[in-house]
Amino acid sequence: MFEGNEEAESHPMGRSDDSPQPPKTALHDKQSELDHRNLRIDKVGVRSLRFPIQIRDKAKVHQNTVATIGMYVDLPKEFKGTHMSRFIEVLNAHGGIVDVENIPDILRAMQSRLHAQSAHLEMEFPFFLTKKAPVSGQEGVLDYTARFAATATGSEIDFVTTVVVGLTTLCPCSKAISRFSAHNQRGYVTVSIRAREIVWIEDLIALVESCGSSELYSLLKRPDEKAVTERAYENPVFVEDLVRNVALKLNDHPDVTWYKVEAENHESIHNHNAYACIERG
């Protein structure tokens, strides 16, 4: 029996350390071949990439979460393809801490690494807030959906922040015509903004939550449930009311330059949803 390196050294097919090595063959770069179809591609890259990140919140605390990421660049008409691995290299090089300040750095790195005129970064992630119940004060964690969509075109940066906020909505019509109670449902407001300065996710959430019949909570005791139910009954809103209420507050915000507000109620007595939208700026 032979052990260790002795087997290789004694085997007829073995190779000693000083034996000549076969020459390395250069791998063909297919993506860099010329393309003759004369069609520029606006966005090409990777999407549905799940990546652990830390988001810096308003309290300057880093919150751990997981983002679903899309990264794209433009592709000139003369090139056959882009180099997909370079997107992941850029993301890894910037580590796991993401905030509004370093997203332009990621976009610039994509432009440089992939020799692109424009670069796009999309991130969607759950954002968590601790909320106190309105009467008992007991705390519970509630999740919201947040999105960043950023584009670098040349030296210009376009940045859009989006939040999706769940609410209780109580129907004004049902309250007006019913002898008892009124139907209510869970509604969702999606707000996207462009702004001159940073607008924190927490502030956008608070703005939206002030416009519905009642906020949502993860933990309610019986006194809390009574308070939330009565609050909703006293503040009925249609989807039309929701988008108008949010839009009025965004109109008054000194830093918001553009917004899109969508409201959708998951109706409790219909088999369809109610929807409204306002876009300005």
Q: Which of 232, 227, 272, 264 is nearest to 246 (CA)?
A: 264
Closest C-alpha to 236, from 176, 180, 166: 176
Which H/E stretch holds residue 221?
none
Residue 206 domain-assigned (yes or no):
yes
Q: Is residue 11 part of a domain?
A: no
Domain span holding position 100: 33-280
Residue 138 lies in a domain: yes
Q: How many domains does the chain have?
A: 1
Confirm if 223 and 78 have CB atoms less than 8 A apart: no
**Residue 82: pLDDT over 50:** yes
CA of 271: how far to CAs of 103, 109, 168, 265, 267, in Å? 41, 48, 18, 11, 7
Instruction: Determine the straight-line distance between the first and last CA of the chain, rounded to whole angstroms.
Output: 81
Residue 191: give its domain's CATH number.
Answer: 3.10.270.10
Are the CB atoms for 170 and 232 separated by under 8 Å? yes
The CA distance from 155 to 164, in Å, is 30
The pLDDT, as a whole number, for residue 2 is 36
Residue 63 lies in a domain: yes
Q: What is the mean pLDDT of residues 72-98?
A: 88
Q: Mind giving me the DSSP string for 103-159?
A: HHHHHHHHHHHTT-SEEEEEEEEEEEEEEE-TTT--EEEEEEEEEEEEEEETTEEEE
Q: Evaluate whether residue 259 is within a structural domain.
A: yes
The mean-pLDDT minimum among 49-58, 201-210, 257-266 falls in: 49-58
pTM of the full structure: 0.85
Residue 249 maps to a domain: yes
**pLDDT 10s digits, 180-203:** 889 999 999 999 999 999 899 999
Q: Indicate whether 219 belongs to any domain.
A: yes
